[in-house]
Amino acid sequence: KNEVEQSPQNLTAQEGEFITINCSYSVGISALHWLQQHPGGGIVSLFMLSSGKKKHGRLIATINIQEKHSSLHITASHPRDSAVYICAAGGSQGNLIFGKGTKLSVKP
C-alpha cells in the first residue's frame, strides 16, 4: 500500500464544474502539500497545510488530521486548470512523499 494515495487518478470535467480530488496518507506528517504540474514539467506549490482549511482564489484545500485525509477543491473549473495535481506528505526534514497524481482535464 502506498503511503500517499490519491483519487481519482484521472478526472475529466466540463468547464464550470466543481472538482474534488482526495488524498489519504498513512505516515506522520509535518504538513500536507498540494502541487500542480503542467505538461513540460513545471511544478507549482498550491498549498501547504497542517490543519483546517486554506483558500486561494478558486482553490480550496482542507485537511482532517485525525482521519489522515485531505481534499483539494476547484470551484468554477476552467480549461486552464487542466494539469496534474499532486498531493505530498511532508516530513520534518522537508522530505516529501508524493502521491501518484490526478490528471485533470477540463473541457470547454
Partner 1 sequence: DTEVTQTPKHLVMGMTNKKSLKCEQHMGHRAMYWYKQKAKKPPELMFVYSYEKLSINESVPSRFSPECPNSSLLNLHLHALQPEDSALYLCASSQYNSYEQYFGPGTRLTVT
Residues at the site binding partner 1, with contacts judged by CB under 8 A? 30-31, 33, 35, 40-45, 48, 86, 88, 90-101
Kindly give the pairing relationship between strand 96-98 and strand 43-49: unpaired
Q: What is the nearest approach in angstroms of partner 1 to the Cβ of residue 59?
A: 15
Residue in the block written with cell 476547484: 74
Q: Where are the alpha helices (DSSP H) in 1-108?
A: none
Among residues 56 and 108, whose Cβ is nearest to partner 1?
A: 56
Residue 67: CB partners within 8 Å, gap ≥ 6?
none
Q: What is the nearest approach in angstroms of partner 1 to the Cβ of residue 44?
A: 7
Q: What is the nearest approach in angstroms of partner 1 to the Cβ of residue 26?
A: 16
